[in-house]
């Protein structure tokens, strides 16, 4: 999902991430080996206030989207607190849904297995921070289908809108487009790289604004069309 030019929720989210230090600027090496002028670290939503506000953005975006789902699924490990927090926020806003998550290793005592929480059933929405290579999404799809349920979508915080890599070569599509087109899941992002660029172009804060040209150049070099 690519947010429109008047997407106030996305602008509010980007501003929040910059203030919280979750979205930083400088030079950062990505998993694909690219030198990125910005870095989004969801692990820094590391206290109750920041996590609660993050969940609020997810919940508002999902309610705005009108997409249908019956429950949430959080992939281990980052997706676990995200799914729990979003479930709480959705309930607060009047949309109470169950959630579940997976373990990295199966448990052979107690309830056993790799799935924890509500029974995985119906239309399942995966909650994650970003989609990089889509590995976490594919693993989640396998677990959800093995439980007899149907994966329908993925909710993420930020869509980087940049080319995926296939065997070390840049692909003409992004990881989000791959999940949407090849795996058949809808993707809901709170904000996109284009939203970040809009923020940098309009903010009164000279600190982030000075990085606008570098982020735009990165988008031009590694970005995908129609994202």
Closest CA to 55 of 21, 17, 82: 82
Rounded Cα distance between 158 and 24, Å, is: 13
Tell me how far CA of residue 58 lies from CA of 10, 159, 183, 188, in angstroms: 11, 13, 22, 9
Catalytic residue at 211? no
Q: Label residues 16-52 b or e (16+ Cβ within 10 Å = b).
A: bbbebebbbbeeeeeebeeebbbebebeebeeeebbe
Catalytic residue at 107? yes
Which among 50, 78, 104, 109 is annotated as catalytic?
A: 109
Which among 31, 50, 104, 107 is annotated as catalytic?
A: 107
Closest CA to 123 of 44, 68, 64, 46: 68
Q: Are strands 99-107 and 113-117 parallel, antiparallel or unpaired?
A: antiparallel
Closest CA to 55 of 16, 17, 75, 83: 83
Q: What is the DSSP string of 22-46?
A: SEEEEEEE-TTS-EEEEEE-GGG--
Residues recorded for the chain: 227
Cβ–Cβ contacts within 10 Å for residue 110, how many?
Answer: 7
Q: Known catalytic residues?
A: 107, 109
């Amino acid at each position: 999902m690519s947010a429109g030019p008047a997407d106030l929720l996305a602008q509010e989210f980007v501003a929040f991430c910059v203030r919280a230090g979750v979205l930083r600027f400088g030079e950062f090496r990505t998993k694909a080996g690219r030198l990125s002028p910005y870095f989004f670290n969801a692990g820094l939503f590391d206290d109750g206030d920041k996590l609660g506000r993050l969940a609020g953005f997810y919940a508002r975006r999902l309610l705005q989207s009108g997409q249908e789902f019956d429950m949430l699924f959080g992939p281990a490990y980052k997706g676990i607190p995200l799914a729990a927090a979003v479930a709480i926020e959705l309930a607060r806003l009047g949309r109470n849904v169950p959630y579940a998550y997976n373990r990295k290793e199966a448990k052979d005592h107690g309830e056993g297995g790799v799935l924890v929480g509500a029974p995985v059933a119906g239309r399942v929405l995966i909650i994650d921070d970003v989609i990089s290579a889509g590995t976490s999404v594919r693993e989640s799809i396998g677990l959800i289908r093995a439980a007899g349920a149907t994966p329908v979508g993925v909710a993420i915080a930020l869509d980087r809108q940049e080319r995926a890599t296939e065997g070390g070569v840049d692909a003409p599509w992004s990881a989000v487009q791959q999940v949407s087109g090849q795996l058949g899941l809808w993707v809901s992002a709170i904000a996109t790289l284009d939203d970040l660029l809009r923020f940098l172009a309009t903010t009164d804060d000279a600190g982030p604004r000075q990085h606008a040209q570098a982020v735009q150049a990165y988008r031009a070099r590694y970005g995908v069309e129609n994202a």
